[in-house]
Structure 1
Amino acid sequence: MSKESMPLLGATEIRRLADELGIRPTKTLGQNFVIDGNTIRRIVAAANVSPEETVLEIGPGLGSLTLGIMDAAAKVVAVEIDPPLAKRLPQTMAEFRPGRENDLTVILSDAMKVTELPGEPTALVANLPYNVAVPVVLHLLEHFPSIRHGLVMVQDEVADRMSAGPGSKIYGVPSVKGAWYGTMRKAGVIGMNVFWPAPKIQSGLVGFTRDTDRSDAPDRKQVFAIIDAAFAQRRKTLRAALSGWAGSGIRAEQILTLAGIDPKERGEKLDIDAYIAIARAAEQVPAEPKPES
């Protein structure tokens, strides 16, 4: 049987599994299960998963996307926060992909608390809850450098923000921090009717590639602190926005000038390389002495 003809979970199967487990999708966990096989195949194809790869999936739910990923990859490591769903997933794999049971590892955990995984996943493919999508992606990219590429499905508006470039009205913290790890790109839009329950808004696909070496860059936490300060009040000039972080407006201006950046510029105009330049310049500008009490 070809991979294209392998059975996937449709609306009937999803509802049967949900009834069996007594599951009713909750907004708290951001549960919207994909019930359309063509959408699953589209997501997996857009993820460009190779047959030898181990794929990390966050929030597999009832397993609709998991089966599609398994058809493209060697192994899947699935992190699920809901105990009944995590317990049922291996059985679903045995039913729909007999012989592949050992290629699936299920971890019962909150994705934001995972800092170790079996093996070394090289790709991330996930249908992420809207309210935690950006923190989860950044957390995983920080803790698992083996992840070289991937595709996540998020709220369409979030997808636009994650892939936005400098100067855009929607360019912000998710855009810049994502760029620290590599290239983020909008990879498509998914309608509402392919989910159960159907959300009230469209979903967007974000593809990413870790294609940047940051080994010679300043400390990531320092760079991210600058980004947070720059966008905390995005209408302010960088001199004003970074004054608290730098210790004073004077020192902020000195740092920005040394970095080759106009102190009157705003944070939304700078790319990740500019923020790295600010962090590097800060290492060369002494902190102002605190006044004696």
Structure 2
Amino acid sequence: MSSPSPDTLLGPADIRELAAVLGVRPTKQRGQNFVIDANTVRRIVRTAGVRDDDVVVEVGPGLGSLTLALLEAADRVVAVEIDDVLAGALPATVAARMPDRADRFALVHSDAMHVTELPGPAPTALVANLPYNVAVPVLLHMLDTFPSIERTLVMVQAEVADRLAAPPGSKVYGVPSVKANWYAEVKRAGSIGRTVFWPAPNVDSGLVALTRRTEPIRTTASKREVFAVVDAAFAQRRKTLRAALAGWAGSAAAAESALVAAGVSPQARGESLTVEEFARIAEAASSRGTTPQPPKEPVQP
């Protein structure tokens, strides 16, 4: 398809005018920072590799900057918006700016964390400027709920982007890294400066690309069981796995038994393990009749 025209996409003046008409003031509570640069949304769509047969789901469309660029490239776009005013205004913006594509747009007025189904065909891609305060939980929920999503490109806080794409052994490798890798191959896909947003955030942003695994992790353990090991390991990340997993396994001895059976050194630390190794630990504990316990304090993704 042809590239979006400047008149179709939203620029800085358009964004501010729309916000003024709607009485919208971006809030920190919902992590709202609106993209005001047309070149940036073009770049996101291009980097995401959006195809003309894609059904794209977008979380947090805001005033519609990225939505319009996605509609130009994809077959269909479904936007999930929690804000009452923004959700009410977006269909009109799409109809006014891209009337010939408006029938290919659908809006779901909901908290993305509560969305379990979407209208129309199953989504094939997720492309979004995710609200920074809920980026990781929303990303994991969408990947888990919609297995048809093959490709994902999200813009998140640079620090979060680094954590999501970190390999084992990295200082920032942690819960988000492992859990994202359960679903997909993850990599950094670029950086975004602060000046393309209104209001400009106090942090830089990064793009993260995720490609769904063609084959799931081979294990008899469930996702819940594997994630419980991950949470326990990183709840006390400075401790050896024998110590960190003691509460999860019931005792240090039971943890060591599961680790040895999984072929993992009890003296290793969680930050050195792959998602496959975490799965082997969960599987070994299950096969030994261990009844693992969740960590005493929830681990923040």
Structure-2-length-normalised TM-score:
0.93
Cα distance in 1 for partners of 2:58, 2:283 equals: 35
Distance 1:287 1:215, change over 3 A: closer
Pair 1:247-2:250 in alignment:
yes
* 1:76-155 matches, cutoff 5 A: 76-118=77-119, 119-155=121-157
Equivalent residue of 1:50, what SS? coil
SS at match of 1:208: strand
Residue matched to 1:25: 26
* 8 Å Cα contact 1:251-1:285 kept in structure 2: no
> In the aligned structure 1, how far is the partner of 2:202 from the partner of 2:46?
25
Say whether residues 1:163 and 2:148 are aligned partners: no
- Cα shift at 1:212: 4.2
CA RMSD of aligned residues (A): 1.3
* Alignment correspondent of 1:12: 13
The match for 1:291 is: none
Whether the 8 Å contact between 1:148 and 1:210 is mirrored in structure 2 is yes
Residue identity in the other structure for 1:2:
S
* Selected match of 2:176 from 159, 171, 174: 174
1:39 maps to a residue whose letter is T
C-alpha deviation, 1:146, in angstroms: 0.7
2:206 is aligned with what amino acid? G
1:2 corresponds in structure 2 to 2
1:238 counterpart = 2:241: yes
Q: C-alpha separation between the residues in 2 aligned to 1:239 and 1:255? A: 9
Asked if 1:57 corresponds to 2:58, the answer is yes
Distance 1:188 1:170, change over 3 A: same
| Inter-partner Cα distance in structure 2 for 1:130 and 1:28 | 10
Q: How does 1:247-286 map to 2 (within 5 A)?
A: 247-286=250-289
CA distance, structure 2, for counterparts of residue 164 and residue 87 of structure 1: 38
Aligned residues: 288
Relative distance call for 1:162 and 1:286 in structure 2 (3 A) is same
1:209–1:45 distance in 2 versus 1, CA, 3 Å: same
Greater Cα offset, 126-135 or 205-214 = 205-214
Q: Percent identity?
A: 59
Paired amino acid for 1:186: R
What TM-score does the superposition give when structure 1 sets the normalisation length?
Answer: 0.96
- Gap runs ≥5 in structure 2: 292-301
Q: Give the 5 Å matches for 1:219-230.
A: 219-230=222-233
Residue 216 of structure 1 and its aligned partner are, at CA, apart by: 4.3
Query: What displacement does 1:99 show?
Result: 1.6
Amino acid at match of 1:88: A
Inter-partner Cα distance in structure 1 for 2:167 and 2:136: 16
Alignment partner of 1:194 is 2:193: no
Residue-by-residue CA offset, 1:214-234 (whole Å, 9 max, x unaligned) = 274220000000000000010
Please state whether the residue corresponding to 2:287 is helix, strand or coil: coil
Deviations 1:204-255 (A, max 9, x none): 0001000242274220000000000000010000011111111111111011
